[in-house]
Amino acid sequence: MITVSPAPIDVAAELDALEAGVGAVASFTGLVRGDDGVTELELEHYPGATESALEQLAAEAEARWNLSAVRIVHRVGPMTPGERIVFVGTASAHRGAALEACAFLIDRLKTDAPFWKRETRGGTTTWVEPRGTDDLAAARWRR
């Protein structure tokens, strides 16, 4: 299941949806950081294209690992430090597949999903540039 929405993420509900009849569930929850004085993070996306990119990533994970379920929930709109921005969950019969697929999804999501971020610090808003470390993390999964 793929969801892109401004609504808060209910991690307990997402985990419950993954846990039925499996041996392992792996998840990642990303939070808005307040370091460097960030008071707000706003995410924009291109509706339709963003969901399609996330669906393609989920399909690739399911093709590479024996998964029983994948859930990706990503927030858009304005958020403050401490709020949940992304949830990625994978379920499988065995922990290895669930853990690897979860790592794959979050690494690739950072570079392959069309989101644009703006940070506000001290009343000044600036666009967030892509990080080279995100590219390196995603590159380890490319075939």
Tens digit of each residue's pLDDT, the chain (143 residues): 899 999 999 999 999 999 887 899 999 999 998 888 899 999 999 888 999 999 999 999 999 999 999 999 999 999 999 999 999 999 999 999 999 999 999 999 988 888 999 999 988 998 988 777 766 767 777 76
CA–CA dist 93, 98 (Å, integer)? 8
Q: Which of 112, 110, 128, 129 is nearest to 28 (CA)?
A: 110
- Identity of the residue numbered 129: E
pTM, two decimals, is 0.91
pLDDT of residue 24: 94
Residue 32 belongs to domain with CATH number:
3.90.1170.40
**Measured between alpha carbons, how far is residue 134 from residues 34, 40, 100, 107, 131 in Å?**
19, 21, 17, 7, 5
- Residue 73: give the domain boundaries: 2-139
pLDDT of residue 90: 97
* Three-state DSSP state, 28: strand
- Contacting residues for 62 by C-beta, under 8 A, at least 6 apart: 70
Work out how many domains the chain is built from and give that number: 1
pLDDT of residue 122: 87
pLDDT of residue 36: 84
